[in-house]
Every structure is written in structure tokens, then in C-alpha cells.
Amino acid sequence: MTTSRSYDLVILGGGAAAFAAITEADQRGLSTAMVNTGLPLGGTCVNVGCVPSKHLPEVRNDVRSAPKTDREPPYGTAIRRRRKRGIYSS
């Protein structure tokens, strides 16, 4: 079964520029379609480039400045560490 649709604008890709284009198109009242293959929505910048590379140093700083404690880390972290050591299996 094939359906036919009409759009004012078809955006190729799902990266940051595509999201800027779809936002602008929406503000202008245009009907839009986004066609994305390859990386998940967000493109290289969001998934593997700019955003992660800027976020990781902040996380590192938060971890370094966190108060020291004898308590067990949050549940998910503890499970991941135990799995890594072979204590739990998936």
C-alpha cells in the first residue's frame, strides 16, 4: 500500500542544521518531513562530536569534586562495576 503526501519542505538529515531548518519552517507555517539515515537523530554533533566532547570534561570535574564517602555508588554504577568484574551476568 502506497500513500502519497505533499510537503512544503523535505529536510535531508537529522543533525543540528536539520533541527534548525525544521524549527524555522515551523515558525513559517510550512509542512515539513525529515529524512534521516545513519546516525540517530541529532547527527554527529549531538551523538559523537561537539556535545559529548564538551560534556565529558564537566562530568570529570563533577566526579573529582564530589565528596568522598564509604557508601556504595548509585545502584546502576555498582551493577556495572560488578558485571565488569564478572560477579553478575546480563
For the record, the C-alpha cell of 15 comes out as 543533525
For the chain, percent of residues with pLDDT exceeding 70: 73
Q: Closest Cα partner for 43 from 21, 26, 19, 11?
A: 19
Q: What are 48-86's pLDDT values in tens digits?
A: 777 667 777 777 777 777 777 766 556 666 667 766 776
User: How many CA atoms within 13 Å lie on the side-chain side of 53?
Assistant: 5
DSSP state of 10: E
Q: What is the pTM of this model?
A: 0.47
